[in-house]
Amino acid sequence: MTNQEVEILVRKYEPEILEFARDIIKTRSYSTEEKGMVMLIKSKMEALDFDEVKVDGIGNIVGRVGNGPRKILYDAHIDTVWAEDKENWKVDPFAAVVDGDLLYGRGSSDEKAAMSSMLYGAAIAKQLGLLDGFSLYISGTVLEETCDGLSVIHMVEKEGFRPDFVVICEPTSLDVYRGHRGRVELKITTTGTSAHAAHPDKGDNAIYKMAQTVLNIEKLTATFKDDPFLGKGTAVVSIIESKAPSINSVPYESTIYIDRRITVGETKETVLAEFRGAVNDPGHTTVELTEFEDTSWTGLHVCQEKYFPTWVLDENHPLVKAGVDAATEARGKTPRISRWIFSTNGVAFMGHFNIPSIGFGPGDEWLAHAANEYVRISDLYEAARFYALLPSKLAEEV
Catalytic pick among 110, 111, 144, 373: 144
79 is catalytic: yes
Q: Alpha-carbon distance 193 to 205, whole Å?
A: 7
Residue of 163, 20, 144, 16 whose CA lies nearest to 76: 144
Rounded to 5°, the CA angle 329-41-345 comes to: 65
Strand-pair category, 253-262 with 234-243: antiparallel
Beta bridge partners of 287: 188
Q: Which of 34, 56, 75, 79 is catalytic?
A: 79
pTM of the model: 0.96
Per-residue confidence band for 40, with pLDDT thresholds at 50, 70 and 90: very high
My answer on whether omega of the bond before 291 falls inside 30° of 0, hence cis, is: no
Quickly count helices (H) and strands (E) in the chain: 9, 22
Calpha distance 382→329 (Å, rounded) = 9
Do strands 291-295 and 301-305 pair parallel, antiparallel, or not at all (unpaired)? antiparallel
pLDDT in tens, 346-386: 999 999 999 999 999 999 999 999 999 999 999 999 999 99
Residue 252: band (very low, low, confident or very high) from pLDDT cuts 50, 70, 90: very high
Report CA dihedral (385, 386, 389, 391) to the nearest 10 degrees.
-140
Q: What's the pLDDT tens digit per position in 189-242?
A: 999 999 999 999 999 999 999 999 999 999 999 999 999 999 999 999 999 999
- Determine phi and psi for 313, rounding to 5 degrees: -100, 135
Can you give the length of the chain in residues?
A: 398
pLDDT category at 1 given cuts 50, 70, 90 is low
**Residue ranges covered by each domain of the chain:** 1-181+310-396, 182-295
CATH code of 1-181+310-396, in short, is: 3.40.630.10
**How does DSSP classify residue 151?**
H
Backbone phi, then psi, for 93, in 5-degree steps?
A: -65, -10
| pLDDT confidence band for 2 (50 / 70 / 90) | confident
E-assigned strand segments in 111-267: 134-141, 165-168, 176-177, 179-180, 182-191, 226-227, 231-232, 234-243, 253-262
Bridge partners of 70? 134
Q: How far is residue 371's CA from residue 172's CA, in Å, rounded to a whole number?
A: 19
Task: Give me the residues paired with residue 106 across strands.
Answer: none
pLDDT, mean over the chain: 98
The residues facing 358 across adjacent strands are: 167
According to CATH, what is the number of the domain 182-295? 3.30.70.360
Q: What element of type H or E holds 225?
A: none
At residue 114, does pLDDT exceed 90? yes
Strand 134-141 versus strand 70-77 pairing type: parallel
Q: Give the Cα separation of 152 and 75 in Å (integer).
A: 10
The long-range contacts involving 81-85, CB below 8 angstroms and separated by at least 24 positions, are: 81/30, 81/106, 81/110, 81/145, 81/369, 82/30, 85/371
The question of whether 364 is a catalytic residue gets the answer: no
